[in-house]
Structure 1
Amino acid sequence: MTLTDAQISIVKSTVPVLKQHGEAITTIFYRDLITENPSLKNVFSLTSQSNGAQPRALANAVLSYASYIDNLPALSQAVARIAHKHVSLQVEPAQYAIVGQYLIQAIGQVLGDAATPEIVDAWTAAYGVLADVFIGTERAINEENEKKDHWRGWRKFRIARKVEESSSISSFYLKPVDGDAKLPKYLPGQYVSVRVLVPQLGYLQSRQYSLSEAPREGGMEEYRISVKREEGEAGHGVPGLVSNLLHGKQEGEEVEVSHPQGEFFVDPADASKEGVPVALISVGVGATPMMAILKSLVQGDVKRRPVSWIHASRSSSEQPFGQEVRRIVKENPEQVSAHVFLKTVAGTDQAGVHYDFADTRMDLTKLDGERDLHLADKRTEYYICGPETFMVGTRKVLVGLGVDRSKVHLELFATGDVADE
């Protein structure tokens, strides 16, 4: 399917309208779609619907699509991110037609008489092109997964072990119930979707959790995710729905898991990256994908890249993997350095052991630019994980320090991309 020049022009002309009414359109879209197709309650996040995050994210994605309708390669990174999430959530090609129907319907409802037949036809065609892009991208991801012994759909896993990493974060070691001891290898930084039944709602909910252990050659017998018990945000009424359910589960209980996915990763086997420094920058539970990346870069014969671990926590009791990171630094002093910021320091915390910077949030300007951030080496890659405002702000700081924006990678589970403030 292709768009005519006239259709492209019409879609681009709607950009100002989408800026003004985009969130209203996507709010109506989700409301009608889920109300009239209740089985989709098992797919969409209740929390993201309740707090408005999902409609806002989709509105931004639709706006980006309209803005770049004549230059779709500019959206390739966002398309890859969304496609990986769709594969993780088992989105099927047939569902795109349903989504398109309700999206066009919502545009018509919000714009009213302004939604002329020409605008509706142009957007119907534009959505068809976008759906084809996603269907093709997701088919390619699934085909690539199949080469890694990919399983289709949701697979039952048993919680083999549950380990407390901090006062609010626990690691769950997951083994497949079917007894297959060879799990597909993933790339450090990737995630799985975990699905559980929410008893009080009567339907399923899934969330994405980074794999926090380095993959091993020769196959894996279990996956590790590390989950923070989320207190939730005031106002949406369902704080930490899935994370609290997981924390309430005991060893031996079961959850459903999808195949590892994600475009936020480091490939430790990439020989072209030999000697290229890596800065792993995280806050709180954002350390989870960084842990997998860090461990993958120091295991076996891979030790080719200098690594800076830069982390901030509210306190040492809430800091995940602190002891594990200190062990790795001690075993690899020439390759790895660690820099920890603590907002609140306890009497038992030791400077230089439990923290490097006290009573402060993360401030990259406090670090040695050349030694700690490797700013002199323009090849250095920066991986950032934490709240969205933290990631955007940190990227802005790095760019201000002379880092090429393309060298900064953010771990985003949301739809689309985020712009610098």
Structure 2
Amino acid sequence: MLSTQSAEIVRATLPVVGAHLDEITARFYTTMFADRPELLDGLFNRANQANGEQRRALAGSIAGFAAALLDHPDERPDALLSRIAHKHASLAVTDDQYVIVHKYLFGAIADVLGEAATPEVVAAWDEVYWLMGGALIAMEARLYAEKGVADGRTWREWTVVDRRAETPDVVSFVLRPSDGDPLPALRPGQYVSVRMRMPDGIHQIRQYSVSGGDAHTRRITVKRVRATENAPEGEMSTLLHTDTRVGDTLTVSAPFGDVVLSDGDRPLVFATAGIGCTPVVGMLHHLAATGATRRVLALHADRSRAVHALWKETSELVAALPNAQQVVWYEEGEGGLAGQMDLGGLEIPADAEVYLCGPLPFMRHVRAQFLTAGVAARDIHYEVFGPDLWLPQD
């Protein structure tokens, strides 16, 4: 895919570019937002800008794409690209924004690398950028077409028709399209974006898994992010919890996301922690509604039964499936196994497909256990809330 000349230059310069990628992406965002502050209004997550997660995710995706081109020159890393394309589509990214990003990213490369950024080096990395950007533009165009929307115009107004407290910090919102038109197509496990105006007038966007619904509604389940010593409270989750009531309207995207329930009859293992249960609850609803007879093992870890969102609903869904089993772990109190999730002693079905969702340390720990149990790396799927800072390898 890369030209021979560019491949040689990228291979030679990848160590130095990789070593400076965090500085490059930091300079890129600082310069771009200084010149184009409107991009922070309704496109970029400013919380992830403040904590550095977005720039680390961008750096990782660029380095990962370049390395993949070099390691497998006849293949395109579609798994990496698909995840990014779905997230971009959920944010209503448009083709012209790739030109804006290119301008400021390559300005940052020139500033940070200085004399090392020769015309030949810049041209080689420019080829990498447009191979990645062109592939993403094509993927996003297909995603928009599948949803029946014009490029980047995925937003609709939805009315809150029900609100239910699941735990002290988790609330579910049932939404119905305000225009009365049919629901957009949904695959079990996908998420939607919610776009809201913050008290300072700036719009922000966050993604929430579809945890349920029916022929006329969709449900999202939102955990309020409390402030800690190291991070402020979540501005979107707080606003939803404190201000959003039945009858209000929310601006919501069509569903996107590439971590979706597979077809077929292979055994399924779900391993979740905390609010990571939400996409799996959506999958369990689909399995129950379609009368699935697949072997299902639903595993969940939480601090206690009191903070385990949707636990009763999950138990009922598992009970409705003829070949399903549920196992839970709680760090505090009764109602499940004590401590953290431990696969020791569990019989993991042969040829199982595994779905992980929860905090990154949890997913790293549990994924290692599944690999030890003999599950192939290609059969372990994971969902990350926020920038993808973890790209597990085989």
Query: TM-score under structure 1 normalisation?
Result: 0.88
Question: Contact 2:160–2:173 (CA<8 Å) still a contact in 1?
Answer: yes
SS of the residue corresponding to residue 172 of structure 1 reads: strand
Question: Contact 1:150–1:259 (CA<8 Å) still a contact in 2?
Answer: no
Q: CA deviation at 1:331?
A: 3.4
**Partner Cα separation in structure 2 for residue 68 and residue 409 of structure 1:** 19
What is the correspondence of 1:62-73 to structure 2 with a 5 Å cutoff?
62-70=62-70, 71=72, 73=75
**Partner Cα separation in structure 1 for residue 109 and residue 388 of structure 2:** 19
SS of the residue corresponding to residue 160 of structure 2 reads: strand
Partner of 2:90: 88
Partner of 1:258: 253
Partner of 2:328: 340
Q: CA deviation at 1:298?
A: 1.7
Partner of 1:277: 267
One-letter amino acid of the counterpart of residue 36, structure 1: D
Q: CA deviation at 1:19?
A: 2.8
* Aligned partner (choices 227, 239, 247) of residue 222 of structure 2: 227
Question: Contact 1:171–1:227 (CA<8 Å) still a contact in 2?
Answer: yes
Q: CA deviation at 1:414?
A: 2.2
* Aligned partner (choices 238, 241, 253) of residue 235 of structure 2: 241
Partner of 1:56: 56
Deviation digits for residues 271-314 of structure 1, max 9, x if unmatched? xx22x1101110010000000111211224x3221111101110
Q: CA deviation at 1:330?
A: 3.5
**Partner Cα separation in structure 2 for residue 150 and residue 390 of structure 1:** 36
Q: CA deviation at 1:329?
A: 3.5
Unmatched tracts of structure 2, length 5 or more? none
Partner of 1:104: 106
One-letter amino acid of the counterpart of residue 168, structure 1: D
Question: Contact 1:393–1:420 (CA<8 Å) still a contact in 2?
Answer: no
Partner of 1:115: 117
Question: Contact 1:230–1:244 (CA<8 Å) still a contact in 2?
Answer: yes
**Partner Cα separation in structure 2 for residue 234 and residue 117 of structure 1:** 45
**Partner Cα separation in structure 1 for residue 320 and residue 127 of structure 2:** 58
What is the correspondence of 1:40-189 to structure 2 with a 5 Å cutoff?
40-42=39-41, 43-70=43-70, 71=72, 73=75, 75-146=77-148, 152-180=153-181, 182-189=182-189
Deviation digits for residues 123-153 of structure 1, max 9, x if unmatched? 2222122211111111111122229x99933
Partner of 2:342: 363
SS of the residue corresponding to residue 196 of structure 2 reads: strand
Deviation digits for residues 152-206 of structure 1, max 9, x if unmatched? 33211121111111221111111122222x2023011000011111113x21000
**Partner Cα separation in structure 1 for residue 66 and residue 227 of structure 2:** 33
One-letter amino acid of the counterpart of residue 221, structure 1: H
Deviation digits for residues 56-80 of structure 1, max 9, x if unmatched? 1111111112212343635211100
Question: Contact 1:392–1:420 (CA<8 Å) still a contact in 2?
Answer: no
Partner of 2:295: 306
**Partner Cα separation in structure 1 for residue 146 and residue 155 of structure 2:** 18
**Partner Cα separation in structure 1 for residue 78 and residue 229 of structure 2:** 35
What is the correspondence of 1:331-410 to structure 2 with a 5 Å cutoff?
331-332=320-321, 334-345=322-333, 349=334, 354-355=335-336, 357-358=337-338, 360-365=339-344, 367-369=345-347, 373-374=348-349, 377=350, 379-410=351-382
Deviation digits for residues 81-130 of structure 1, max 9, x if unmatched? 00011111000001101101111111111111111111112222221222
**Partner Cα separation in structure 2 for residue 44 and residue 14 of structure 1:** 29
One-letter amino acid of the counterpart of residue 281, structure 1: A
| Alpha carbons of structure 1 residues 102 and 284: separation in structure 2 relative to 1, 3 Å | same
**Partner Cα separation in structure 2 for residue 151 and residue 260 of structure 1:** 13
SS of the residue corresponding to residue 108 of structure 1 reads: helix
SS of the residue corresponding to residue 98 of structure 1 reads: helix
| Alpha carbons of structure 1 residues 281 and 51: separation in structure 2 relative to 1, 3 Å | same
**Partner Cα separation in structure 2 for residue 382 and residue 128 of structure 1:** 34
Query: TM-score under structure 2 normalisation?
Result: 0.93
Question: Contact 2:360–2:390 (CA<8 Å) still a contact in 1?
Answer: no
SS of the residue corresponding to residue 300 of structure 2 reads: strand
Unmatched tracts of structure 1, length 5 or more? none
SS of the residue corresponding to residue 205 of structure 2 reads: strand
Partner of 2:210: 211
| Alpha carbons of structure 1 residues 232 and 122: separation in structure 2 relative to 1, 3 Å | farther
Aligned residues: 389
One-letter amino acid of the counterpart of residue 368, structure 1: L
**Partner Cα separation in structure 2 for residue 295 and residue 223 of structure 1:** 12
| Alpha carbons of structure 1 residues 126 and 329: separation in structure 2 relative to 1, 3 Å | closer
Q: CA deviation at 1:415?
A: 4.1
Percentage identity across aligned positions?
A: 34
Residue 198 of structure 1 pairs with residue 198 of structure 2: yes
Question: Contact 2:284–2:318 (CA<8 Å) still a contact in 1?
Answer: no
SS of the residue corresponding to residue 137 of structure 2 reads: helix
Question: Contact 1:151–1:259 (CA<8 Å) still a contact in 2?
Answer: no
* Aligned partner (choices 276, 284, 288) of residue 294 of structure 1: 284
One-letter amino acid of the counterpart of residue 60, structure 1: G
